[in-house]
């Protein structure tokens, strides 16, 4: 794997991890995570690189090795979609595939609505409510950040807080980042006209009903893999589902 840096929409120093050679596949990780945790550690990127893809895996703003500014001006609406557009322009990509998990899926949707046109799209760990009802989901994570030091085992926020501790999340930056997201009305999803894979763990409803999302999109297929929202990224089934979809 090669790590380099590129300028975000405002010049922020953002990390990009590359693995493999071949067809460009941009892969976006989930909230509080990183490219290393979602795509590299459990072998998903290696599997896809072996299938003939160049895995292009940024660390999103305020995550991983990327900048986590504390200036509110660094967090305009749809900032992650703007950073993704900056990455596509930086790399000069015109023919590529786009894959996102959870927050990465949401970012991918927002970027396509704003004008990006990947050949194929993969949305992992996402349901319709995670897009149309993001405001409530975002409020849950903001509350977890605000109560970070008092959350105990058994609290619904405990898994999120535990993961933030594991990932050494910058809570000031991520709290501002969470304020940049808005709900995506179902009618806006008509912009996702490309062939799309909705892939979820069999026990994953963290972001709502994936079948409802599949039914809303113009040209989508739904695949179920083993695991929960957190554990499905640790199993090869996720990478295999993405590979098989992109190669057909």
Tell me the mean pLDDT in the region 29-45: 97
Q: Is 54 helix (H, G, I), strand (E, B) or coil?
A: strand
Domain 2-133+184-247 sits in CATH at 3.40.50.1820
CA distance 102 to 92: 26
Per-residue pLDDT reduced to its tens digit, 49-107: 999 999 999 999 999 999 999 999 999 999 999 999 999 999 999 999 999 999 999 99
Question: For residue 67, which phi and psi values (nearest 5 degrees)?
Answer: -60, 145
CA distance 136 to 152: 21
Per-residue pLDDT reduced to its tens digit, 126-174: 999 999 998 888 999 999 999 999 999 999 999 999 999 999 999 999 9
CA distance 167 to 190: 35
pTM of the model: 0.97
CA distance 195 to 123: 11
Residue pair 99/28 in contact (Cβ under 8 Å)? The answer is yes
Give pLDDT, residue 102. 97
Domain coordinates in residue numbering, the chain: 2-133+184-247
CA distance 60 to 23: 22
């Amino acid at each position: 794997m090669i790590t380099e840096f590129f300028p975000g929409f405002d010049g922020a120093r953002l990390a990009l991890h590359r693995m493999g050679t071949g067809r460009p596949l941009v892969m976006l990780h989930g909230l509080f995570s990183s490219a290393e945790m979602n795509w590299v550690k459990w072998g998903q990127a290696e599997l896809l690189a072996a299938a003939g893809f160049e895995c292009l895996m940024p660390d999103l703003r305020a995550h991983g090795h990327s900048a986590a500014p504390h200036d509110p001006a660094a967090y305009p609406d749809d900032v992650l979609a703007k950073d993704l557009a900056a990455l596509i322009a930086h790399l000069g990509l015109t023919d590529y595939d786009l894959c996102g998990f959870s927050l990465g899926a949401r970012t991918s949707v927002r970027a396509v609505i704003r004008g990006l046109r990947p050949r194929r799209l993969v949305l992992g760990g996402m349901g319709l409510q995670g897009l149309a009802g993001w405001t409530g989901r975002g409020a849950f994570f903001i509350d977890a950040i605000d109560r970070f030091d008092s959350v105990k085992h058994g609290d619904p926020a405990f898994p999120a807080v535990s993961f933030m501790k594991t990932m050494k999340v910058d809570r000031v930056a991520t709290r501002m980042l969470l304020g940049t997201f808005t709900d995506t009305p179902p009618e806006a999803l008509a912009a996702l006209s490309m062939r799309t894979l909705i892939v979820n763990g069999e026990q994953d409803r963290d972001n709502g009903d994936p079948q409802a999302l599949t039914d809303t999109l113009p040209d989508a297929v739904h695949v179920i893999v083993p695991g929960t929202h957190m554990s499905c990224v640790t199993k090869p089934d996720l990478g295999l589902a993405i590979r098989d979809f992109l190669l057909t």
